Amino acid sequence: MQQKLTILSNEKERRAPQGETIVHGYDSSVKYDYVVVGSGPGGGPLASRLALAGHKVLLIDAGTDEGNEITTEVPALMLQSTEYEPQSWSYYVQHYSDLEQQKRDSKMTYRQSDGSLYVGLSPPSGAEPLGIWYPRAGTLGGCSAHNAMISLYPFDSDWSNLQSLTGDESWEPSNMRKYFEKLEKCEYLPNTAVGHGFNGWYKTSLTSLSLVVEDQKLLSLILSAATAMGKSILTSIITTVTGLAGVLIKDLNSGLPGRDRIEGLYQGGRENLGFGETG
């Protein structure tokens, strides 16, 4: 049976995954088995999997396909991608119900009388409080377009909060770690490392420290951060790969107890997917 995935959006042409036929535009005469709303990291893979299983699927997204834009393709431009106008949905969130408490957050954003934005603790008189800027992406792929290719496993407390909120025991932290182990293909640790997977599809690795050593601005930031944390480090040591490796705690996604409470300088896990469209 031929798989068919129909995408309804403000669309440019998009390459079909292997084994699929993508039809752009909606045909009201077609009966679909499934309709998926939203093509982000949840909806996109779900629609694709259903199509690969032989179902007719309609995937609806409000955005356009910006996958060929430079800010999407280059992970180093992740911050720019959050402000890329064709896909930028700028939401503002409230971390506190008390507005006065919210205003004590240095990231609080205000709209000034001339329409411009002010961020900080001393807004001009009459500025409208908006909240904390929370960038979302209105595009095919959703917020995976904000792609820095950094893999950070959530805190156990995040899973526990979801477990408490939903009353669903499957969110229990040790159970959720099993899913990570199942999907990960770790390439930077021996296969005896606790909490990691080595046979999945999601490749993780570490950025070469030789690239960091060559970047004087980044080295300066690391040295400053280390000094602020009370680490006495000679600049001559940290400017070598060996010295830098001694400063950075290598496994940001460790499954060992206490991982969430250990302070230090971490070398973030890097997604190694071979392309820059998943974040």
Per the DSSP assignment, residues forming a β-bridge with 110 are 118, 129
- DSSP class of residue 144? G
In which domain, by residue range, is 49 found?
3-60
pLDDT of residue 272: 45
The total number of structural domains in the chain stands at 3
Based on the domain organization, do 108 and 44 belong to the same domain?
Answer: no
Element holding 184 (H helix, E strand): strand 184-186
Residue 65 inside a domain? The answer is no
Based on the domain organization, do 166 and 258 belong to the same domain?
Answer: yes
Look at 182 and 16; give whichever has higher pLDDT.
182
Residue 19 inside a domain? The answer is yes
Length of the chain measured in residues = 279
Residue 102 inside a domain? The answer is yes
Based on the domain organization, do 131 and 34 belong to the same domain?
Answer: no
Structure tokens at 200: 């999945």
Residue 252 inside a domain? The answer is yes
Based on the domain organization, do 204 and 244 belong to the same domain?
Answer: yes
Give the pLDDT band of residue 214 (cuts 50, 70, 90). confident
Based on the domain organization, do 168 and 259 belong to the same domain?
Answer: yes
List, edge to edge, every strand of the sheet that includes 128-137: 88-93, 128-137, 108-111, 117-119
- Residue-wise pLDDT for 218-275, tens only, equals 777 777 777 776 665 555 455 555 666 666 666 889 898 888 887 777 776 555 433 2
Residues in contact with 161: Cβ distance below 8 Å, sequence separation at least 6, in sequence order: none
- Residue-wise pLDDT for 155-193, tens only, equals 999 999 999 999 999 999 999 999 999 999 999 899 999
Based on the domain organization, do 42 and 88 belong to the same domain?
Answer: no
